[in-house]
Amino acid sequence: MLELIGVSKNFTDSSVITQALQPINLQVQDGDFISFIGPSGSGKTTLLNVLGLLETPCSGDYIFAGKRVLALSDKEKSRLRNRDIGYVFQGFHLLPDFNIYDNIEMPLRYSREHAVMRRKRVVTLLEQVGLSDFAKYKPSQLSGGQQQKAAIARALVTEPSVILADEPTGNLDLHSTAEVMALLSTLNQQGTTILMATHNLELAQRSKRVIEVRDGVIKERSLTHYARRWGIAMNRLPTQ
Ligand SMILES: Nc1ncnc2c1ncn2[C@@H]1O[C@H](COP(=O)(O)OP(=O)(O)OP(=O)(O)O)[C@@H](O)[C@H]1O
Ligand SMILES: [Mg+2]
């Protein structure tokens, strides 16, 4: 359903050119759960941003749900971003002056959804992420884990087919990390495609596919490979 064909990305700052992604080929199926792991600066965020239509590739072709992304107008791209993709960032990116309810509802304001339906959807999501009692709170009144759950609810409000999560647990303690990962796993079991960047191999083990990113080059290996290499018990691996 998503396909990168020889997609590369470089950034030019004054006279310095950084090749953030070497030409990449990648196929993502509906319902996939992929972890991109790799050291800082390896290109994980750039890759997620390209996949999320936030960055334009410098070469190659990108097919999103049967459409050639490079041939789309800005308007068509923003419609895909708004309807089909949910973004979860490390720093949450909630709007500080709005309460949790309004933050979650925000992406629907740009859709033509009826007010009653919007309300129903936000209330359901608040329940799903366990924040029903915090609807009226401002983001700063919530813990990091709660803010991240609110950010996930906001990413889900348009019922996107793909969730992009960049270090979704990077700022969280162990307990909140477990809760957020459980939430992502449940969403994936319900059919949402999840693409996650992480430094943490143990979290990556929760996904169906692990792809290493190093100097802008990707390499996919089986989960069994990591289980052997890191001595992680097979019974802790997700069933595939
Ligand atoms: N907007 C930009 N302008 C110039 N260079 C950039 C830009 N964004 C990323 N880069 C460079 O591209 C390379 C890949 O960066 P990227 O942010 O994708 O890495 P990352 O794997 O997400 O790292 P981290 O784990 O620290 O988040 C780095 O060398 C970085 O400096
Ligand atoms: Mg990054």
CA angle 61, 62, 63 (to 5 degrees): 120
Q: Residue 238's pLDDT band (boundaries 50, 70, 90)?
A: very low
Instruction: Determine the residue of 9, 10, 11, 22 to mutate for testing ligand 1's pocket, defined as the one with the most ligand atoms within 8 A of the Cβ atom.
Output: 11
Q: Is the pLDDT of residue 91 over 70?
A: yes
Residues by chain with Cβ below 5 Å of ion ligand 2: 45
Q: What's the mean per-residue pLDDT of the chain?
A: 89
How far, in Å, from the CA of 86 to the mean position of ligand 2?
17
Cα gap 132→239, rounded to integer Å: 32
Cα gap 27→29, rounded to integer Å: 7
Q: Pick the more confident residue, 85 or 172.
A: 85
Among 190, 177, 189, 196, which Cα is nearest to 239's? Answer: 189
Pocket of ligand 1 (CB under 6 A): 11, 13, 18, 20, 38, 40-46
CA angle 186, 225, 87 (to 5 degrees): 35
How far, in Å, from the CA of 42 to the mean position of ligand 2?
8
Q: Could you tell me the two tokens for 220?
A: 């996919």
- pLDDT at residue number 162: 96
How far, in Å, from the CA of 218 to the mean position of ligand 1?
15
Nearest-CA residue for ligand 1 atom 26 is 40
Q: Pick the more confident residue, 202 or 85.
A: 85
Question: pLDDT digit string (tens) for 93-132?
Answer: 899 999 999 999 998 887 778 889 999 999 999 998 899 9
How far, in Å, from the CA of 123 to the mean position of ligand 2?
32
**For tokens 């069933």, what's the residue?**
239
- pLDDT at residue number 77: 93
Question: pLDDT digit string (tens) for 30-64?
Answer: 999 999 999 899 999 999 999 999 999 999 999 99
Domains of the chain, start order: 29-53+85-230 (3.40.50.300)
Question: pLDDT digit string (tens) for 184-237?
Answer: 999 999 999 999 999 888 888 889 999 999 999 999 988 888 777 766 544 444
Q: Could you tell me the two tokens for 201?
A: 């191999």
Q: Given the CA of residue 38, which atom of ligand 1 is nearest to it?
A: 21
H/E segment holding residue 106: helix 100-109
Long-range pairs for 48-53 at CB < 8 Å and ≥24 separation?
A: 48/164, 48/166, 48/195, 48/197, 50/4, 50/7, 50/9, 50/21, 51/2, 51/4, 51/162, 51/164, 51/195, 52/81, 52/85, 52/87, 52/162, 52/164, 53/77, 53/80, 53/81, 53/85
Among 4, 81, 79, 82, which Cα is nearest to 36's? Answer: 4
Specify whether the CB–CB gap between 212 and 39 falls below 8 A: no
Q: Is the pLDDT of residue 18 over 70?
A: yes
How far, in Å, from the CA of 216 to the mean position of ligand 1?
10
Q: Which residues pair with 110 in a beta bridge?
A: none
Q: Given the CA of residue 13, which atom of ligand 1 is nearest to it?
A: 4
Cα gap 218→47, rounded to integer Å: 10
